[in-house]
Structure 1
């Protein structure tokens, strides 16, 4: 009889333990983050946070999804099936001006990596050298916005330029059919150098044009209904980015797990080029200022990219940044 009682007690304890294990296993909150572009070291902090268990330790089961032209982050998150996204800060303002209730949580790239660059042998060094040249333009996005702002700041008459719509393949620049290319310090500039070409770079920040680039965001609904999940996700993500900054080589290695065609040398170079853009000053990683958002909005409205102004104080929050 005693044996049966003991056996029953052990069975009951085992069931309780098993139930606890199942409960623990299912306790993680499933969330998805939609990246701005294809998987690469540009998003290394997210990979680090996942690979080092920062998300799981926070009770989150995070699905990292690549972005790109077919999967625009704003639309994917605003649709309600995904909780977080990464996009340019300008897109947050434009979306809000159209009634889309998205809110920025952290500016990952506080300095914008977008630049205008040319082959060194061309002798093109400043925007005033663009006159009479073939200038590549990525139409309709923040690349065009920043490019036109540079022209305005330097009083270059665009009618004296031969503007040519381009996409992402830099072959026309390398072949000499395009003289100036709109690209990124952390990508196309590196690609040109890897192919043996020296380049001259015009940085818009040198002309006072500095839009936050990759910006982590969510929806007003998510903030209202699950603020604790938002806090955990932002905290774990920024911890991942802090580690990526401290150990860019490790971050590049983690990145390789997220793309079969990625090469370590390029991803490591991308990480190194990103470092001064991620934390350019003593402010906390991810920090955002109202003045920068207001300046961004003015730039967007003046250029006709944003039709109506919005309350910038509602477009972002630093509540979850330590």
Structure 2
């Protein structure tokens, strides 16, 4: 009889073990860029067990030029991604069935900046200067909208294509650099260079930035999985905002090249962008998507209006 009970117990343990192994749904989220505190909420959700508690086994993968999140997710091998809101609309304009689930950065960190003492602190002072231009992305979109809004002709200045190395600005080969408040501005100051910031938001050009997205197929076929992922992710972001020091420590764990002081500054400087008002992180409104779409059409990034009710959904956000 004892052997029978041992066999039954062993069988039950094996069955329980198999259930546990199958209980967690494996998903991947592809970030917009390389690992850094810009994505701290995802690291917090993973490292503090929020995804695990939601029955998810989440791989958080860095993005970058070689791993564009929209292509990686649209290809079907990855389930979630992070990209700028404008890229979601541009992709849908090309027939790519991606859907925004939550806006992480409701205030864009994108700015243009010059070295302190140059006297370049408004778009009007771009005239006759050499302006760094990141071609083809949302940086160019907002930059061109800023010129149009302020009546500055691109013919009155010199545009020079740049990538990510700020040396041309710091060595005064360029006069103005396109970058981010929570990254390049911090890096310039860390190198001992103070800067003047020209913020498009000050001219009425403030659009959604980093946005969590998936595919129409995921929303249709796996809504429970999407719900659990969105909820756990936003809890991670809320925790990161409440505890920036811990969030920066968890960020540094993702890559040995990261510096805690830099990531902590990035995290703290990101909080006003993540929480520009009383609305919870993730919130999004049709009016903001409409404004962004209009800008894309004016800039010839979109041929015409889209059905925005298919481009984003709020049904996975807390009421």
| Same-fold call, TM cutoff 0.5 | yes
Pick the aligned partner of 1:318 from 293, 314, 317.
314
Q: CA deviation at 1:25?
A: 2.1
Deviation per residue, 1:9-57 (Å, 9 max, x gap): 1221122122202211221000000000001100000000000000011
* Equivalent-residue separation in structure 2 for 1:151 and 1:145 (angstroms): 10
Pick the aligned partner of 2:55 from 50, 55, 59.
59
Q: CA deviation at 1:138?
A: 0.5
Larger Rg: 1
SS of the aligned residue for 1:182 comes to strand
Residue 245 of structure 1 corresponds to which residue in structure 2? 241
Residue 218 of structure 2 corresponds to which residue in structure 1? 222
TM-score for both structures, normalised by structure 1:
0.98
Residue 171 of structure 1 corresponds to which residue in structure 2? 167
Q: CA deviation at 1:63?
A: 0.5
* Equivalent-residue separation in structure 2 for 1:29 and 1:126 (angstroms): 50
CA contact (8 A) 1:104 1:315 kept: yes
Deviation per residue, 1:48-89 (Å, 9 max, x gap): 000000001100000111100111111100000100000000
Does residue 199 in structure 1 map to residue 214 in structure 2? no
Deviation per residue, 1:200-237 (Å, 9 max, x gap): 00111111111211100000000000000000000000
Pick the aligned partner of 1:139 from 132, 135, 140.
135
* Equivalent-residue separation in structure 1 for 2:124 and 2:284 (angstroms): 32
Residue 281 of structure 1 corresponds to which residue in structure 2? 277
SS of the aligned residue for 1:258 comes to coil
Residue 31 of structure 2 corresponds to which residue in structure 1? 35
* Equivalent-residue separation in structure 2 for 1:130 and 1:96 (angstroms): 34
Does residue 290 in structure 1 map to residue 297 in structure 2? no
SS of the aligned residue for 1:33 comes to strand
Does residue 26 in structure 1 map to residue 39 in structure 2? no
Q: CA deviation at 1:282?
A: 0.9
Q: 1:20-169 alignment to 2 at 5 Å?
A: 20-169=16-165
CA contact (8 A) 1:284 1:321 kept: no
CA contact (8 A) 1:105 1:317 kept: yes
TM-score for both structures, normalised by structure 2:
0.98
Could you say what the CA RMSD is over the residues aligned between the two structures, in angstroms? 0.8
SS of the aligned residue for 2:278 comes to coil
Pick the aligned partner of 1:300 from 296, 301, 308.
296
Residue 6 of structure 2 corresponds to which residue in structure 1? 10
Q: What is the number of residues matched between the two proteins? A: 318
Q: CA deviation at 1:314?
A: 1.1
* Equivalent-residue separation in structure 2 for 1:80 and 1:32 (angstroms): 11
* Equivalent-residue separation in structure 1 for 2:281 and 2:39 (angstroms): 14
SS of the aligned residue for 1:163 comes to strand
Deviation per residue, 1:276-297 (Å, 9 max, x gap): 0001111121101101101101
Where does structure 1 lack aligned partners over 5 or more consecutive residues?
none
* Equivalent-residue separation in structure 1 for 2:22 and 2:216 (angstroms): 26
